[in-house]
Structure 1
Amino acid sequence: MIDVITSSSNYYNYARQEWNRSIDKYPTAIAYCKTFDDVKKAVLFAKKNKFKLRIRSGGHNYEGFSIDDGIFVIDISNLNRIEINYENNTVTAEGGASFGQLYNLIGSNGYPFPGASSSTVGVAGLTLGGGWSYSSRYLGLACDYLSEIKLINYEGSIITANKNTNSDLFWALKGSGGGNFGVIVSLTFDLPPKVDLVTTFNIYYSSISKDNQIKFLDIWQHWITNTTNKINMKASIDNSSYDGSYIYCTGLLYGTPNELMDILSPFMNIGGCNLTYENVSFLQSTEIISSFYNQYERFISYSRFASREYSHDELSKLVDIINEPRPEGSQTTSLKLYGLGGKVSEINKADTAFYYRNSNYIISIESNFEDNEYKEDNAKWIEEKSKYIYNITDGSYINFPYYPLNNYLYEYYGNNYKYLQKVNRKYDPSNTFSFQQSIR
């Protein structure tokens, strides 16, 4: 039975909240579906009553595209069963499963997976956008392990997509982002080879000077293109109202602490480096990394792909963005780096919808603020600072969407966008599954 939440429900104000609490929308109704048939009924009900439709699983979309004012939300977070097929070495997750649930099942059986950093992120949403992770350089993107997807289309029918059946749709679903084409109700993944232990690590520099910030960025850009594929790292240069200027890095190595010390040696040349690490199971590593993430945040961010080396002057301008005064109400402004390359770049950009496989890393600016009364000031700050980053980068990551982005189809999908439009016309001709930055 579908549980429908409306504005008259006691649960409504909680149910309408997204992980990014700067999103403050009031949908007409939220339908919590538990079965494929529930989803079918919800789609057909919305169409019959001419409701605009949105799909939500984990609720982690940065711009809150899974919810809006006056629309009908199909929430599939209760459609979350997961099963391993040991004979085929695959795992099948229903569309509302979270990565915490997936990790608990496959990790306890010794399997790693290139999934989300936070355990509450939905498997479907992250995978459909390609799926960056701390395992990406070693294992590839989450979408690279897809072997089959099932979705409920605009007519309420179940559509199966794999390399042999509806292969054009299967191609599109591997990198086009969530919310397009239909409601994803099942994803089957090939499982990577089992691993024994991995090493999680953190690097911290407190009260770091501008010169050392630039030095860090220069080391990073050479390191990320030359280091072993067994390691990946996310780095954040922060300007905090509480802790001042600092750099914080989190990473994962498919290897030992002894290997780690050698691999990270370039970063040890920056004064004040504090390195900590743990040699643990893959499942434990996901729990450690997830613990760094807040239950929710209020933020605005802007991200792009970096595909070349930057000069000292360009790096200096990047750190100036963070060192300049924060917008009103901002608790922290950040310049973040997400490592790419390795296994990600071994697949041709035309072989999946994820286009920017040859990029070295993702670069992002972000402002976290304490209350939504400051949202407009922070949005203006991001818009102003994004102009420089836009001019030195190539495109934008669909899983880190930015609503004001011009020409968004090209920015997210590069030259793949025209074929994505063709696939969308075929599988969703009435544009039932549309939102601010949907494929249309």
Structure 2
Amino acid sequence: MIDFDYRGLTGDIITKEEFSYEEERKAWNRAIEKYPLAIVYCHTNDDIINAIIWAKLHSVEIRIRSGRHHYEGYSTGNDVLVIDISKMNAISVDEEIGIVKIQGGVRNRELYEVLGELGYPFPGGGCPTVGVSGLTLGGGWGYSNRLLGLASDNLLEIELIDYKGERIVATDKSNTDLFWALRGAGGGNFGVVTSMIFKLPEKIKMATLIDIDYIGADDHEILDIFEIWTHLYMNLDKRVNLKMGIYNSEIKGRGVRITGIVYGSREEAEVILGDFKNISKKGVFDFNYISVLDVNRRIQDGHPPYEKYKSAGRFVYKDYSRSEMKKIIELVEERAKGAVYAAVSLYGLGGAIMEKDKNDTAFYYRDAKFIMGFQSVWEEAEYAPMNIEWVKEKLKYINSITTGSYINFPCEDIDEYEKEYYGENLEKLREVKLKYDPYEVFKFPQGIRIGNGQNLN
């Protein structure tokens, strides 16, 4: 075992010898068990630069971490140096020119709080502890996307530290190829993000939070809900976006939960979503017309502090027949051994997301109807192998009825992951990678590879 000299590193350095190491190494997905060589909590750009220089000097691979939410754990690893930017979390709002500047470690909840108090919505994600930088780099799905566009569509400027330890600023006028790539290519490919500037949307004070739960719905009712959902999205007002989860829960049994936002009154929401009320007496409907800030708070509060899970996310392009819907529902008819929860979910797309072309940014699948998520959750470690295999087996059918994979819902079990994540944008992304990280200093499983997967170093 190599005895490393950590001199040269600055910031807060956590090594395996530290008492806090066991806690600090954990990912949000507790199924991820990785043991990095060291974790550096950076407070300044210099801390990041020193970490990159140190890693190259000692031939240690780098991982970049902010919110710890990478589904497959690629923000950490065994015997790597984790550059953690979560302490760099300043937020500055300039209402006069209509921008908000954030440091790379800001999380969803922190940004929602600051902007919400001022009356601004933001197209962030639903989970409070997800890093805004990671969310944005992968495009950034959220409940406000159909009205405001993806998180990355609202990005005006991004600053990062590159493989040489130098600061690069990318905008639509400077380093434009890098700016294109950083809006959809996913986190960790080109450098360590230190700051981002977003345009502020128009102020919206109030919205209606949608929470519908059909607890104990039977197969026929679930099928009817699925059909209504599909028809709803054919001509849906872009002020509305929803997520529908067809679930099998140890606590609640089988059912369907629909969560979302209507940027309008409760009365408008009742009209738009009225068809859902006639399906089943088992449905619990909770429509709350409250501040946009409170909408986001309640959505975020619905997420657990951590989970153990296996999941994937793919894009839906076709209108499913009733028989296909039935097969999708049957995917979660039985849970894996030891699972406490399983679900197949549809995340709404369309609206403002489609107003850009699929080649305008690196986010390729703009014209999809939904993202289909699939997951299994367990609590006891002994059940991890069974749950993972269960998900992989079910994905065989899901793969046959979907197209491409969502980089922010990654799955390590993809054969040609670059084509799946990036579609026809792959070759351009490889060119950007070659230009801005020619020696693949920022290399990790499922990272963008130069050429046909050949490393230069």
Aligned partner letter, 1:401: P
Once the 2 structures are TM-superposed, how far is the Cα of residue 242 of structure 1 from its aligned partner?
A: 2.0
Give the corresponding residue for 1:280: 290
1:302 equivalent in alignment to 2:316: no
Partner amino acid, structure 2, of 1:260: A
Given that 1:129 and 1:175 are in contact with CA atoms closer than 8 Å, whether structure 2 keeps it comes out as yes
Instruction: Spell out structure 1 runs of 4+ moving beyond 2 A.
Output: none
Give the AA of the match of 2:358: K
CA distance in 2, matches of 1:267, 1:362: 21
1:41 maps onto 2:55 in alignment: no
Task: Give the TM-score normalised by the residue count of structure 1.
Answer: 0.99
**Which residue number in structure 1 is paired with residue 160 of structure 2?**
151
Aligned mates of 1:278, 1:214 — CA distance in 2: 26
The AA in structure 2 aligned to 1:294 is P
The answer on 1:91 being equivalent to 2:76 is no
2:29 is the counterpart of 1:25: no
- Aligned partner of 1:358 in structure 2 is 367
For residue 435 of structure 2, the aligned residue among 426, 433, 440 is 426
Distance in 2 of aligned mates of 1:339 and 1:225: 11
| Structure 1 contact 225–341 (Cα < 8 Å) conserved | no
Counterparts of 2:425 and 2:303 in 1: how far apart (Å)? 33
Do the aligned partners of 1:138 and 1:343 also contact (CA within 8 Å) in 2? yes
Q: Offset of 1:348 from its aligned partner?
A: 0.3
Residue aligning to 1:118 = 127
**Alignment-derived partner of residue 389 in structure 1:** 398
The residue type paired with residue 127 of structure 1 is T
| Residue in 1 that maps onto 2:233 | 224
CA contact (8 A) 1:305 1:363 kept: yes
Matches within 5 A, 1:193-342: 193-272=202-281, 273-323=283-333, 325-342=334-351
Which segment drifts farther, 212-221 or 396-405?
212-221
1:155: how far off?
Answer: 0.4
- The answer to whether structure 1 residue 417 and structure 2 residue 426 are counterparts is yes
- Of 128-137 and 364-373, deviating more is 364-373
For residues 149-169 of structure 1, the C-alpha deviation after alignment (integer angstroms, 9 at most, x for no partner) is 000000000001001110000
User: 1:373 maps to what in 2?
Assistant: 382
SS in 1 for 2:55: helix
Identical residues among aligned pairs (%): 44
**Local SS of the residue matching 1:59:** coil
Distance apart, 1:118 and its partner CA: 1.7
Deviation per CA, 1:275-327, whole angstroms, max 9, x where unpaired? 1021111111111110100000111012211111011111111111111x211
SS in 2 for 1:395: strand
Q: Distance in 2 between matches of 1:84 and 1:36?
A: 21
Q: 1:372 offset after TM fit, Å?
A: 2.0
Once the two structures are TM-superposed, the CA of residue 334 in structure 1 deviates from its matched residue by 0.6
Equivalence for 2:412: 403
Cα distance in structure 1, aligned partners of 2:166 and 2:36 = 25
- Asked whether the 8 Å contact 1:410–1:417 carries over to 2, the reply is yes
Match of 2:142 among 133, 138, 160: 133
Is the CA contact 1:175–1:354 (under 8 Å) kept in the aligned structure 2? Answer: yes
Secondary structure in 2 aligned to 1:366?
strand
Residues in 2 aligned to 1:349 and 1:386: alpha-carbon distance in whole angstroms: 25
Where do 5+ consecutive residues of structure 1 fail to align?
none
Distance in structure 2 (CA, Å) of the matches to 1:364 and 1:195 = 29
Q: Which amino acid aligns with 1:310?
A: Y
Structure 2 counterpart of 1:435, from 444, 447, 450: 444
1:109 corresponding residue in structure 2: 118
Partner of 1:69: 78
